[in-house]
Amino acid sequence: MDKPHRPVLLVLRALKLGDLLVAVPALRGLRRGFPDHELVLAVPGWLSPVLPLIGGINRHLATPGLDDPLPWEGTVDVAVNLHGNGPESRGRLEQLSPTYRIGHAAPGWSGPTWDDDLHERDRWVRLVNWHGLAAEANDYRLCPPEVSAPLEDATLLHVGAAHGSRQWPVERFADVAAVLALRGHRVVITGGRQDLLRATAVAKTAGLPESACVAGRWELDEFAAAIAAARLVITADTSAGHLATAYGTPSVVLFGPAAPEHWGPPADGPHIVLTDAEVRAGEPFAEVPDPAILAVLPGHVLDAVDSLEAHDAA
């Protein structure tokens, strides 16, 4: 006897890890709103290790981007555009002929008008709420990691960034690393495989042993576990900052082209944002660091660390 058809809720967010993490509150609202549906999440394949940390995701549809049709065969009962509101993302979902669409207002789509001046967590929660589903922006914490942390109580300096606009200078990271090591922190330099040269240079310049550089060594779920177990995270506006937010790990986050009002950690958490909005160029794909992140000096970061640890000790 055939099993009864389980309706499909397909959600598109074919972006990077930080983009996925700011959409967690909206995803949970969708999960609660459609408890009997199979929730299929269309995100890049490399994000697979962190999907169990969100909870409620039934199937991962590996989707590298929007260049090709979504690799889905079968019925889609509800299609949700958490990717954006451009014709590309809408078109890929429309090709699936869903029975119902959840997205922002556009031809063929009912929803709220797109608003550029919103925090990303608020943007997607607002969308879900408009469609009659309960979601809250403060529902961003991830489930406990499913793997053991490769180390605990370390101070992680995440030196990687996807574009030069968010890359704080190597020598400044090294200055911070050297001072914190002298203060007794177990300093570890993290990054992806593409960040190995930067990370190695930071460790060497700071006088740290080779073992302090772990860039490219950890899998994504191990990286998440290490941040969850860390003493402190210092990073540019990257996935490391979003993971620190998700686990309540104290963090110092340096912002360059992006506005922390749109992408930053919650104001009530153990997080400090450093930037200078007055000089921000705001070009995310620039090859050189944004003036807003260059305005942050090592002393500013060390003062922020002192503030976080004084608050923790109080």
Indicate if the pLDDT at residue 145 is higher than 90. yes
Q: What does the alpha-carbon distance between residue 226 and residue 213 come to, in Å, rounded to a whole number?
A: 14
Contacts 24+ apart (CB under 8 A), 85-89: 85/114, 89/12
94/213 same-domain check: no
Distances (CA, A) of 266 to 127, 144, 227, 270: 19, 20, 17, 9
> pLDDT band for position 313 (50/70/90)?
confident
218/103 same-domain check: no
Q: What does the alpha-carbon distance between residue 144 and residue 213 come to, in Å, rounded to a whole number?
A: 25
Domain encompassing residue 235: 155-313
Q: What does the alpha-carbon distance between residue 307 and residue 177 come to, in Å, rounded to a whole number?
A: 17
Q: Is 238 a member of any domain?
A: yes
Q: What does the alpha-carbon distance between residue 224 and residue 210 come to, in Å, rounded to a whole number?
A: 22
102/226 same-domain check: no
162/116 same-domain check: no
Indicate if the pLDDT at residue 1 is higher than 50. no
Q: Is 145 a member of any domain?
A: no
Q: Is 135 a member of any domain?
A: no
Number of domains in the chain: 2
Residues 256-269 pLDDT 10s: 999 999 999 998 89
Q: What is the pTM of this model?
A: 0.96
Q: Is 138 a member of any domain?
A: no
Q: Is 70 a member of any domain?
A: yes
CA proximity to 131, closest of 172, 101, 153:
101
Residues 76-107 pLDDT 10s: 999 999 999 999 999 999 999 999 999 999 99
167/244 same-domain check: yes
126/159 same-domain check: no
Distances (CA, A) of 40 to 106, 218, 248, 292: 23, 27, 27, 38
181/84 same-domain check: no
Task: Report the percentage of the chain scoring pLDDT > 70.
Answer: 98
> Angle 21-233-260 (CA atoms, 0-180°, nearest 5)?
55
Residues 123-138 pLDDT 10s: 999 999 999 999 999 9
Q: Is the CB of residue 282 less than 8 Å from the CB of residue 290?
A: yes
Residue 2's pLDDT is: 52
CA proximity to 87, closest of 106, 101, 71, 73:
106
Residue 4's pLDDT is: 63
Give, rounded to a whole angstrom, the gap between the first and last alpha carbons of the chain.
Answer: 63
Q: Is 2 a member of any domain?
A: no
Residue 311's pLDDT is: 80
> pLDDT band for position 312 (50/70/90)?
confident
Q: What does the alpha-carbon distance between residue 230 and residue 143 come to, in Å, rounded to a whole number?
A: 16
Contacts of 100 (CB under 8 A, 6+ apart): 77, 78, 79
Q: Is 147 a member of any domain?
A: no
210/308 same-domain check: yes
289/185 same-domain check: yes
Residues 178-190 pLDDT 10s: 999 999 999 999 9
Residue 272's pLDDT is: 98
How many angstroms from the chain centroid is the CA of residue 295?
23
Q: Is the CB of residue 135 less than 8 Å from the CB of residue 26?
A: yes
187/87 same-domain check: no
CATH classification of the domain holding 117: 3.40.50.2000
Q: Is 207 a member of any domain?
A: yes
209/126 same-domain check: no
Indicate if the pLDDT at residue 23 is higher than 50. yes
Could you tell me how many residues make up the chain?
314
Task: Report the percentage of the chain scoring pLDDT > 90.
Answer: 95
Q: What is the mean pLDDT of residues 219-242?
A: 98
99/206 same-domain check: no
